[in-house]
Amino acid sequence: MRRRDFIAWLPLALSGCGTPGGMLGSGGREPSLQGLSAQLKLPDMDSMLAQQRLMQELMDSPDLPAWHAQREKMALAVGDRTFQRGFDRVFDSMTIALATLGSRVNNMERASGYITASIPDLGPARTQALQREGLRQYAQVKGYPTGIVDRKGEGFELDVGAASSAMARGMAGLTLTLTRQGPGQTKVKLRFDNVYYPELVNEYYNAVWAAVDKQMFLDSALD
């Protein structure tokens, strides 16, 4: 809501507050605007507008140049791995490992070695902490007061942290590409889609590879 629209709306809202005698208090006097604002829990307009602008920027351009550069380095360092196992064994171990992480497989093509899935579950507390940490960094780079990230949406305000987390979770995913390197060797490329904060990406890499290593160990008895 723009400031001028809010100012025009305020008298209408106040006139409908429904105390006997209109807006008169118990003593028959009109309460102050400050008192009415407190009763109605009216938002800080500057803060609310900043929250709206931040959310719009997140929807339009959720990445930062520095983040992109960090993710590129991370992909080269830990995004690709080569396993001394046959293609079918690695493919099966990958799909089981994803299931143990709570990832839902959306597409799986054994012939092409291509798997897409939803993002792993790091647990609500850890996920929320990392997402808010990233949002604070984003807000700071974009010139917003970082405090608006932690406001809980009182009155008409947004809970930017909760809204952005829900949006990010719905769009994020992962892609696994498996390539035969020989009879007993398979290369795996792991990438995360629409996950921008490097620290969160790193947590996802660690979670997936740890689950894969565990599953490969369990499956080694089957070879």
Q: What is the pLDDT along the chain (223 residues), one digit of tens a residue?
A: 554 554 444 444 444 444 444 444 445 555 555 554 555 555 566 777 888 888 888 888 999 999 999 999 999 999 999 999 999 999 999 999 999 999 999 999 999 999 999 999 888 888 888 888 998 999 899 998 877 777 665 544 556 556 556 656 667 899 999 999 988 999 999 999 999 999 999 999 999 999 999 999 888 876 6
- The predicted structure's pLDDT at residue 26: 45
Residues 23 and 36: beta-carbon distance below 8 Å: yes
Residues 79 and 138: beta-carbon distance below 8 Å: no
User: In angstroms, how far is the first alpha carbon of the chain from the final one?
Assistant: 63
The one-letter amino acid at 80: D
Helical H segments across 16-123, by residue range: 33-40, 45-60, 65-78, 87-100
